[in-house]
Amino acid sequence: MKVGGFKRMAAVARLDLVEVFQSRWLVFHSVLYALLAALFLFAGLRESSVLGYTGMSRLLLSLCHALILVLPLLALTASGLVVNRHREDGTLELLFSLPVSRGEYFVAVSAVRYLVLLVPLLVLMPLLGLADRLLFGHVVPWVFIGRSLTISATLLWSFAGLGLAISTFVRNRTKALMYLLITWIVCVGGLDFALMGLMLQWRLNAETVFVLSGLNPVQSSRLALLSSAEPSLAILGPVGFYLANRVGHSWLFLLGTLQPALIGWASWYVAWRHFRRGDLV
């Protein structure tokens, strides 16, 4: 890409970032991250053992479990209404009357919406580790922090891509919001109940259950997180024993990060192609 293209994308990104600041969306989810961390801080920094860990490890594990449920909703709402809103309020017509291409606009908006969700996490988790080290003298699990950030980043990108696809294909914001909520509900809770129903009805084998659950980026991220905290996966009982011995915690972490990333890139690419070739109004 030429230098002029980067400058135009930077200009669009600055405009979108101003909109994010004006809507206080960045402040909202940053405060939400901080509140979640503070909530688990009082429960996680006690000397009680959970999964063989104490102190900061318990805090981070509890925080990440909560984030796995919250991050998809934040990513969907941050990205799922941006394109159709700009189409309705005339922002697209104004921008494309200038020397800005559709692809440059889409890349800039995608980067802003993703980074405003990821950057506060990149700051918060290392700060928690440093604060625990300075205040309580605990050993900071930097490896677990790094893996948790990787899992959070890929999960965010997965649902940011899905949100951008919905925002691009669904022009009506009310309908788009409905699809966003349905996507979040199905990924967070619906597949669990569907799998339990299938297991009770047809007695599926372990391989089939694992493949079906792995199609859900939330479930993949959960397995990656648990395999990082407890490689034996004893908390999952017989299922954990099967996964730990047949798949291995390293492969579970790899699958739990690559699969959501692939879903995010595939959704983003489909949305990007449709936006470049579709009608603006």
- Supply the DSSP string of 207-225, one letter for each residue: HHHHHHHHTSHHHHHHHHH
Q: Measure CA of the first residue to CA of the last residue in the chain; give whole Å.
A: 27
- DSSP three-state, residue 27: helix
Provide the number of structural domains found in the chain. 1
Tens digits of per-residue pLDDT, 136-179? 666 777 888 888 899 999 999 999 999 999 999 998 888 999 99
Residue type, 34: A
Residue 237, phi then psi, degrees to nearest 5: 70, -140
Q: What was the pLDDT predicted at 251? A: 78
Q: What was the pLDDT predicted at 232? A: 60
Kindly report which listed range (14-23, 42-51, 228-237) carries the lowest average pLDDT score. Answer: 42-51
Dist CA 125 CA 148 (whole Å): 9
Mean local confidence (pLDDT), 28-43: 74
* Cβ atoms < 10 Å from Cβ of 41: 16
Q: What was the pLDDT predicted at 49? A: 46
Residue 145, phi then psi, degrees to nearest 5: -60, -45
Instruction: Find the length of the chain.
Output: 281
Kindly report which listed range (35-44, 108-117, 232-241) carries the lowest average pLDDT score. Answer: 232-241
Q: Which residue has better confidence, 246 or 66? A: 66
Residue 11, phi then psi, degrees to nearest 5: -65, -45
Which pLDDT band, with edges at 50, 70 and 90, does 118 fall under? very high
H helix runs in 45-172, sequence order: 56-79, 82-88, 91-96, 102-136, 142-169
Mean pLDDT of the chain: 80
From the number of C-beta atoms within 10 Å of its C-beta (0-12, 13-18, 19+), residue 207 rates as exposed
Q: Which residue has better confidence, 85 or 35? A: 85
Q: Which residue has better confidence, 234 or 18? A: 18
Tens digits of per-residue pLDDT, 71-110? 999 999 989 989 998 888 888 888 888 888 899 999 999 9
Tens digits of per-residue pLDDT, 184-214? 988 887 656 666 666 656 666 666 666 666 6
Secondary structure in 3-state letters for 84-106: HHHHHCCHHHHHHCCCCCHHHHH
Dist CA 232 CA 248 (whole Å): 9
Tell me the chain's radius of gyration from C-alpha atoms.
20
DSSP-derived secondary structure letter, 53: B
Helix, strand and coil in the chain, % to nearest 5: 85, 0, 15
Q: What was the pLDDT predicted at 163? A: 95
Beta-bridged to residue 53, according to DSSP, are 50
Domain that holds residue 215: 3-277
Residue 259, phi then psi, degrees to nearest 5: -65, -50
Among all chains, which residue has been given the structure tokens 């022009």? 171
Residue 188, phi then psi, degrees to nearest 5: -80, -45
Beta-bridged to residue 50, according to DSSP, are 53
